[in-house]
């Protein structure tokens, strides 16, 4: 299969399409946690309870209120090979927890992979909507619809005072986590990022790396999300995040202009070197890949590199992950082999575009 064909089939909509402000915002994501009345949370679940949850979800997604929202498929984690589970995680559709402990877990996926519902993870249900660009409100509206459709069949655990009840009290209330993945190379290059990240944590938001909790932020990518879930409405939570994100976007744009006007030679050198390495290197590890891709993407945004599609950062940052690579080359690969294949894949992808380096 050619790379182009493989990409067509393997990519989620969020990896392929663009969206508002997508020179800085890669994705917008809404996740809501829900649980079913009178059934213990997954941590204390017996096989019987787990099946009860799975059956309830299966019924809920079969009814018309739900099926009119798109083409969905439900898959048990235990029916899926490890590699396929890892690919889903790399595409941000399921969590590491479901990959490592498939036990009673399942996922409901919409065909465009904009909607994914994790079943029997930390909570009975985790509804996720992921969209390209800055589209938090749109993502919330869709998540809200999915939630309403499920609720016509599923009696949710809800408390008048504490809201939607969740396994962990850090999610109780709205159960919502709204997050945006931001590409902030100029704020990093100009050394402003730490000051800004500290400020973010003081307004009830958190910053994480590419793959969530505890992961390091490689490739100048940052996930900004709300911390508090109880005491504010979903709209307030999203509006609060939006206003901070908009300020970050403004700062990043300003920093990019500054770099261009004051450090143009150094910046162009860095970007073109990274492009050269991606285009010709024979071995690439994941970390360097992300760093070089970040430079190239910045070069595309600033008009220094032309002819390369702007989606290349999003595409390749997922495509070059370990499981995805092995899926593409259709074989198990050691880390050293992966570095060689990764470099080959990147070269091939770059050759698909009519590149021109100014």
Partner 1 sequence: MLCQNCHERPATVHFTKIVNGEKSEYRLCEQCARERGDIFAKAVNSFGFNHLLGGLLNFESSPGFTAPAGKGLRCDVCGMTYQQFTQVGQFGCPSCYEHFAPRLEPLLRRIQSAVQHTGKVPARTGSHVKLRKDLERLRKELQQCVANEQFERAAEIRDQIRALEQQLGQ
Binding site for partner 1 (CB under 8 A): 35, 37-41, 43-44, 122, 144, 147-148, 151-152, 155-165, 167-170, 172-174, 176, 204, 213, 228-234, 237
312/300 Cα distance (integer angstroms): 10
**Lookup: tokens for 259:** 């770099």
C-beta closer to partner 1: residue 53 or 304: 53
Closest CB 168 distance from partner 1, rounded Å: 5
C-beta closer to partner 1: residue 40 or 70: 40
Closest CB 42 distance from partner 1, rounded Å: 9
C-beta closer to partner 1: residue 41 or 66: 41
C-beta closer to partner 1: residue 132 or 173: 173
Closest CB 232 distance from partner 1, rounded Å: 6
Closest CB 170 distance from partner 1, rounded Å: 6
Q: What is the CA angle 29-31-32, rounded to 5?
A: 155
328/7 Cα distance (integer angstroms): 9
Closest CB 161 distance from partner 1, rounded Å: 6
Binding-site positions for ATP read 27-31, 92, 126, 177-181, 208-213
Closest CB 213 distance from partner 1, rounded Å: 7
98/126 Cα distance (integer angstroms): 12
Answer whether 21's CB lies under 8 Å from 133's CB: yes
96/321 Cα distance (integer angstroms): 14
CB-CB neighbours of 131 under 10 Å:
21
C-beta closer to partner 1: residue 41 or 275: 41
C-beta closer to partner 1: residue 43 or 330: 43
C-beta closer to partner 1: residue 17 or 232: 232
Q: Which residues pair with 208 in a beta bridge?
A: 223
Closest CB 105 distance from partner 1, rounded Å: 16
Q: Which residues pair with 116 in a beta bridge?
A: 109, 128
CB-CB neighbours of 23 under 10 Å:
18
Closest CB 101 distance from partner 1, rounded Å: 14
Torsion sign over Cα 315, 316, 318, 320: positive
**Lookup: tokens for 76:** 């048990």
Cβ-in-10-Å burial (0-12, 13-18, 19+) of 253 comes to middle
Binding-site positions read 27-31, 92, 126, 177-181, 208-213
C-beta closer to partner 1: residue 224 or 300: 224
């Amino acid at each position: 299969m050619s790379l182009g064909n493989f990409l067509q089939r393997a990519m989620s909509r969020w990896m392929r399409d663009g969206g508002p402000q997508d020179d800085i915002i890669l994705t917008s994501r809404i996740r809501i946690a829900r649980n079913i009345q009178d059934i213990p949370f997954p941590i204390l679940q017996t096989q019987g309870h787990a099946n009860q949850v799975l059956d309830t979800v299966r019924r809920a997604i079969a009814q018309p209120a739900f099926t009119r929202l798109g083409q969905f498929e439900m898959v048990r984690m235990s029916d899926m090979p490890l590699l396929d589970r890892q690919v889903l995680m790399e595409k941000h559709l399921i969590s590491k927890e479901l990959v490592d402990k498939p036990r009673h877990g399942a996922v409901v996926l919409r065909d465009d992979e904009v909607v994914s519902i994790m079943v029997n993870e930390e909570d009975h249900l985790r509804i996720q909507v992921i969209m390209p660009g800055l589209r938090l409100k749109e993502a919330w509206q869709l998540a809200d619809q999915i939630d309403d459709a499920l609720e016509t069949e599923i009696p949710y655990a809800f408390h008048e005072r504490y809201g939607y009840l969740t396994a962990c009290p850090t999610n109780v209330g709205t159960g919502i986590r709204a997050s945006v993945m931001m590409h902030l190379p100029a704020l990093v290059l100009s050394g402003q990022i730490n000051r800004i990240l500290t400020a973010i944590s003081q307004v009830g938001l958190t910053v994480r790396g590419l793959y969530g909790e505890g992961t390091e932020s490689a490739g100048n990518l940052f996930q900004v999300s709300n911390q508090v879930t109880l005491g504010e409405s979903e709209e307030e939570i999203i509006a609060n995040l939006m206003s901070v994100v908009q300020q970050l976007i403004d700062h990043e744009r300003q920093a990019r202009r500054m770099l261009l006007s004051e450090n143009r030679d150094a910046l162009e050198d860095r970007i073109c070197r990274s492009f050269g390495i991606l285009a010709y290197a024979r071995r690439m590890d994941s970390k360097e890949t992300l760093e070089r891709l970040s430079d190239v993407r910045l070069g595309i945004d600033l008009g220094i590199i032309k002819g390369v599609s702007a989606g290349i950062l999003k595409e390749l940052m997922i495509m070059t992950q370990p499981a995805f690579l092995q899926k593409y080359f259709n074989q198990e690969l050691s880390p050293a082999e992966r570095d060689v294949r990764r470099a080959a894949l990147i070269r091939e992808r770059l050759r698909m575009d009519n590149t021109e380096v100014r």
